[in-house]
């Protein structure tokens, strides 16, 4: 099979390296890809959001399957456009991708179908939003732009001033354009966070191994929010009992709700969960694989990913046993100095072999380019170094040992990935 993957970050590299393990795969393509991906797949320079361009590329390459990985093309309808031309695809159509594309849609869906989530109100004008904030007078409070906002659309306001500022920025100053013309003000939830990605063909849902993201830039969860500085899997807070509760109260109800709304969801549905004292609640849905969750989850998958993707396309996921390695994985993200604010590119990366890898680890490239047989930095998050081992402790040790073998000027990474999970395990 020839497979085209749309996207160009660490998540896409993890998908591609997993697809490369399949005996069914003869050729891999990626657009736009990156330096590390180019060692596994032929890369093209069509942007991931360019629907017309990607359809044209597919017509030229004639792939047997197109995997659309990032949120924006899914929300914009890339899968619809590819299917209209007869291509097999992996990923939801636009009418289902709205579960991530509109926070108001997802909150209303959860309310209508009694899926546990934080209490909320929707606002379209700042005066009413500010009145509501003053009347609630409860902090922190959570302010979310309705639409996609490059992962920056959620503000946890610590006091009235921050809340008012967030509302004004979003609605009046159109910080995220149309995406923040409408906002959600939501109850602040506390508890351990768990990411659960799932495979679904719209009728059957198969949760993947759970994981834990580390979103802040610096050790001890200090510094700014980022796209994710590291992950571990499985997440020790996510017990078998909680998994069952989530299946009956959240996962199945969500796909049934989407089906009932005439918005059958197929692909990877991501549940961002908060394990509160009142049980698990949804803090967000994503219509795609998480980044960097994918970098710890897919290495644990035993079943052929191509078989899973085809079963989802054919609506036969119920007949496919999906199995996992009984191991642990850890991913440490190596970022450019200054990320997530301001950073420089084009730093030479040392320590990688000609495939961009290091022995005994998976080095997923997020922001690199490959020029004159060298890897150079080309983004804020540069590499995600994943190790798999029998225990979380060993996986972490191995990931950090590999990190030490790699170097580029001004690199920075967190030193405490997985520490909270280790403490949870020790009780």
* Contacting positions for ligand GLY (CB under 6 A): 213, 228, 286, 290-291, 293
Could you tell me which stretch among 3-11, 148-156, 330-338, 398-406 binds ligand AMP (CB under 6 A)? 148-156
Residue 379 CB, shortest distance to ligand GLY, in Å, is 15
Residue 291 contact among ligand AMP, ligand GLY, none, beta carbon within 5 to 8 Å by kind? ligand GLY
Rounded to 5 degrees, φ, ψ at 349 are -100, 125
Q: How many CB atoms lie within 10 A of CB 321?
A: 8
**Of 122, 154, 181, 243, which lies in the binding site for ligand AMP, with binding defined by CB under 6 A?**
154
Give the contact letters, 280-319, x = binds to ligand AMP (CB under 6 A), - = no: ---xx-----------------------------------
- The kind and range of the H/E element at 141 are strand 141-145
Does position 218 interact with ligand AMP (CB under 6 A)? The reply is no
Q: What is the 3-state secondary structure (H, E, C) of 235-301?
A: CCCCCHHHHHHHHHHHHHHHHHHHHHCCCCCCEEEEEEEEEECCEEEEEEEECCCCCCCHHHHHHHE
Could you tell me which stretch among 89-97, 187-195, 253-261, 290-298 binds ligand AMP (CB under 6 A)? 187-195
- 201 versus 213: smaller Cβ distance to ligand GLY: 213
**10: CB partners within 8 A, 6+ apart:** 291, 292, 294, 295, 333, 364, 365, 366, 381, 383, 384
Give the contact letters, 81-120, x = binds to ligand AMP (CB under 6 A), - = no: -------------------------------------x--
Does position 142 interact with ligand AMP (CB under 6 A)? The reply is yes
> From CA 207, how far away is CA 240, in angstroms rounded?
12
Residue 186 contact among ligand GLY, ligand AMP, none, beta carbon within 5 to 8 Å by kind? ligand AMP
DSSP 347: P
Does position 189 interact with ligand AMP (CB under 6 A)? The reply is yes
Residue 211 CB, shortest distance to ligand GLY, in Å, is 9
C-beta separation of 303 from 321 below 8 A? yes
- 180 versus 204: smaller Cβ distance to ligand GLY: 180
- 154 versus 322: smaller Cβ distance to ligand AMP: 154
Residue 228 contact among ligand GLY, ligand AMP, none, beta carbon within 5 to 8 Å by kind? ligand GLY
C-beta separation of 272 from 283 below 8 A? yes
- 18 versus 103: smaller Cβ distance to ligand AMP: 103
Residues 222 to 281 in contact with ligand AMP, rule: CB under 6 A:
272
C-beta separation of 147 from 101 below 8 A? yes
Residue 243 contact among ligand AMP, ligand GLY, none, beta carbon within 5 to 8 Å by kind? none
Sheet containing 89-90, strands listed edge to edge, beginning at the edge strand earlier in sequence: 42-43, 27-32, 2-7, 65-68, 89-90
Q: Could you give the 3-state DSSP secondary structure of residue 215? A: coil
Of 179, 35, 199, 29, nearest to 101 (Cα)?
179
User: With left for phi above 0 and alpha for psi between -120 and 50, is residue 401 left, alpha or beta?
Assistant: alpha
- The kind and range of the H/E element at 75 are helix 71-76
Residue 216 CB, shortest distance to ligand AMP, in Å, is 10
Residue 155 CB, shortest distance to ligand AMP, in Å, is 9
> From CA 311, how far away is CA 128, in angstroms rounded?
48
Does position 403 interact with ligand AMP (CB under 6 A)? The reply is no
> From CA 276, how far away is CA 316, in angstroms rounded?
34
- 156 versus 164: smaller Cβ distance to ligand AMP: 156
**Of 32, 53, 151, 337, which lies in the binding site for ligand AMP, with binding defined by CB under 6 A?**
151
> From CA 217, how far away is CA 213, in angstroms rounded?
12
- 160 versus 405: smaller Cβ distance to ligand AMP: 160
Does position 165 interact with ligand AMP (CB under 6 A)? The reply is no
Helices and strands (DSSP H and E) totals, the chain: 14, 22
Instruction: Please list the residues that pair with 332 across neighbouring strands.
Output: 230, 385
Residue 293 contact among ligand AMP, ligand GLY, none, beta carbon within 5 to 8 Å by kind? ligand GLY
Residues that bind ligand AMP (CB under 6 A): 118, 142, 151, 154, 156, 186-189, 193, 215, 272, 283-284
């Amino acid at each position: 099979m020839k497979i085209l993957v749309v996207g160009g970050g660490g998540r896409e590299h993890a998908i591609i390296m997993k697809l490369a393990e399949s005996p069914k795969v003869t050729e891999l393509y990626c657009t736009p890809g990156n330096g590390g991906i180019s060692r596994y797949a032929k890369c093209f320079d069509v942007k991931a959001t360019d629907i017309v361009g990607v359809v044209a590329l597919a017509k030229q390459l004639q792939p047997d399957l197109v995997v659309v990985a990032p949120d924006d093309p899914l929300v914009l309808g890339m899968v619809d456009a590819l299917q209209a031309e007869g291509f097999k695809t992996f990923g939801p159509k636009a009418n289902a991708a709205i579960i991530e594309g509109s926070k108001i849609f997802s909150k209303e869906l959860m309310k209508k179908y009694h899926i546990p989530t934080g209490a909320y109100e929707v606002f379209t004008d700042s005066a009413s939003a500010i009145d509501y904030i003053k009347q609630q007078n409860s902090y922190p409070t959570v302010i979310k732009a309705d639409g996609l906002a490059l992962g920056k659309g959620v503000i946890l306001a610590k006091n009235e001033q921050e809340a008012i500022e967030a509302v004004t920025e979003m609605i009046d100053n159109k910080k995220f354009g149309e995406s923040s013309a409408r906002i959600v003000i939501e109850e602040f939830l506390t508890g351990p966070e768990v990411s659960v990605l799932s495979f679904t063909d719209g009728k059957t849902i198969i949760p993947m191994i759970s994981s834990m993201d580390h979103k802040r830039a610096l050790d001890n969860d200090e510094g700014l929010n980022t796209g994710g500085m590291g992950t571990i899997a499985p997440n020790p807070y996510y017990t078998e009992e909680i998994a069952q509760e989530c299946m009956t109260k959240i996962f199945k109800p969500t796909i049934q709700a989407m089906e009932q709304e005439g918005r059958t969801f197929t692909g990877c549905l991501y549940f961002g969960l908060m394990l509160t004292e009142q049980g698990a609640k949804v803090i967000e849905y994503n219509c795609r694989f998480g980044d960097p969750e994918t970098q710890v989850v897919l290495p644990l998958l035993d079943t052929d990913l191509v078989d899973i993707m085809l079963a989802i396309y054919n609506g036969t996921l119920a007949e496919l046993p999906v199995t996992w390695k009984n191991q642990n994985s850890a991913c440490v993200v190596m970022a450019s100095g200054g990320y997530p604010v301001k950073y420089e590119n084009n730093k030479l990366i040392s320590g990688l072999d000609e495939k961009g890898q290091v022995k005994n680890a998976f080095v997923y490239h997020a922001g690199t380019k490959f020029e004159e047989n060298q890897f150079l930095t080309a983004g804020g998050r540069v590499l995600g170094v994943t190790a798999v081992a029998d225990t979380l402790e060993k996986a972490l040790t191995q990931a950090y040992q590999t990190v030490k073998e790699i170097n580029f000027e001004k690199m920075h990474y967190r030193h405490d990935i997985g520490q909270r999970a280790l403490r949870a395990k020790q009780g």
